[in-house]
Amino acid sequence: MTNSVAVAGVGLHPFGRFDRTVTQMGVSAVRAALEDAGNPSFQSVFCATVYSGVAAGHKVLGALGLTGTPIVNVEAGCASGGAALMLATNAVRSGQCDTALVLGIEKMPRGIIRSSFFEPWREQSGLAATPAYFALRAMRLMRDSGITKEDLAQIVVKNRAEGVNNEIAMYRTATTVEAVLESRLVCEPLHLHMLCSPNEGAAAIVVQRSDLARRDAPKIASAQLRSHLPGSILGEATPLSGVADENIPAASTIAAHAAFEEAGYGPDDLDLIECQDTDAAREILAYEELGLCARGDSAQLVRNGDTARGGRWPVNLSGGLLSKGEPLGASALAQIIELSNQIDGRAGIRQIENAQIGLAHTVGRGANAAVVIITK
């Protein structure tokens, strides 16, 4: 017998650049989430972060005088928040605890991020250029799926239009295809506005047994994390899943299959999606990896507006990372909070009708992918 698991409370610290420490941001998000859940006691804490250093979650809980429970700091690249949510969900589902606190905190370095992921010779040789890997992935999508630069710009336009209405977003102005294509070319085909900004922020979620949470609290139907399969990347130092052998399913696909199977739903059942738009092409690739369309068919989804507000699957109603920016540890949790708020009918000006089943997807270095399904 396993427990039904609910999102009992949510809290966000805005995403952007702030004159505050990562601990202070974490405190704000945790306080808000606990208050939203009615200040329950909790028995486990999972803190997602990549760049916050040793025992970062302990500092946040310490500042609140809420230490004493197990606190585990979780790193899984861009999917860190999804990883922490999976651990908390499993803990509650299995009966290990009644209530678990998940938080994600990040204060990203500025500029191109120097990562211990790359060996020194790769850095010296110019092979540690993270946006260039995104650009290669975009090039491949253009070749395999007939995506154009206008399609890429259209994703930015779509997401930034939603970001206007999200008070925690870093960029809150709408844009146009022309403006996106006029922004500086970073690595062909990606222009500056097609890339999300690494930034700062925090998010927290109280995960609780459904029978202890308020009755209409959204449910976590599945929270899955997967890593890449052997042979799908060009070696441990190249974050390009699927490039070595295209026939091996991507980590995102494996995670999505597992989540759909556990939740008992498929892509057709989804009412809304939050997916990883680290760059505009990454979002479109996710359409294929998550099974919204067959491989190579994503261009039609973009051009038909299927993934825009009012379309078949509204994607990134939060404005996505292209509007919010990406604080690694917090970004996946913010997606889940958007789904929960939509399903809960408290998404404010961004609210859509009949939001009952939502999927959140994050993927990043490792390769790691997390897929979470939230239901009414």
Partner 1 sequence: MTARMVHDGLFRLDSDGDIRLLGSRCEECSHLQFPVAETCSMCGSERSTTIDLERQGTLWLSTVVTNAPPGYLGEVPYGFGVVELPSGLRIITLITEKEVVEFGTPLRLVAHDLGINDDGEMVVTYAFSPGSS
Residues found near partner 1 in the complex (CB under 8 A): 112-114, 119-121, 123-132, 135-136, 139-140, 143, 184-189, 230-231, 234-236, 238, 240, 243-244
Q: Are 370 and 220 in contact (CB under 8 A)?
A: no
Q: What are phi and psi of 339, to 5 degrees?
A: -60, -45
Q: Select 177 or 234, whichever has its Cβ closest to partner 1.
A: 234
CA 331, 17, 27: angle at the middle one, nearest 5?
A: 65
Question: d(Cα 373, Cα 313) in Å, to the nearest integer?
Answer: 14
Output the smallest distance, CB 154 to partner 1, in A: 21
Q: For residues 190 and 207, which CB has a smaller minimum distance to partner 1 in the complex? A: 190
* Residue 125 or 354 having the CB closest to partner 1: 125
CB neighbour list of residue 42: distance below 8 Å, 6 or more residues apart: 69, 97, 99, 100, 101, 206
Query: Contact, 166 vs 341, CB < 8 A?
Result: no
Nearer to partner 1, 249 or 314 (CB): 249
In the complex, least distance from residue 352 CB atom to partner 1, rounded to whole angstroms? 36
Nearer Cβ to partner 1, position 26 or 198?
198
Dist. CA 115–CA 97, nearest whole Å = 35
**Nearer of residues 123 and 261 to partner 1, judged by Cβ:** 123
* Of the candidates 327, 282, 277, 328, the residue with the CA atom closest to the CA atom of residue 159: 277
Smallest distance, partner 1 to C-beta of residue 64, A: 35
Helix (H, G, I), strand (E, B) or coil at 9: strand
Residue 239 CA to residue 125 CA, distance in Å, equals: 16
Please, what is the minimum distance in Å from the beta carbon of residue 211 to partner 1? 45
Give all strands (DSSP E) within the chain, no chain letters. 5-16, 44-48, 71-74, 99-107, 185-187, 190-191, 200-209, 219-227, 272-274, 357-364, 368-375
Two tokens, residue 356:
């009952």
Nearest approach, Cβ of 131 to partner 1 (angstroms)? Answer: 8
Output 318 or 368, the one with its CB closest to partner 1. 368
For the CB of residue 149, give the shortest distance to partner 1 in the complex, in Å.
Answer: 12
Beta carbon of residue 278, minimum distance to partner 1 (angstroms, whole number): 16
Q: Please, are residues 324 and 336 in contact by the beta-carbon 8 Å criterion?
A: no
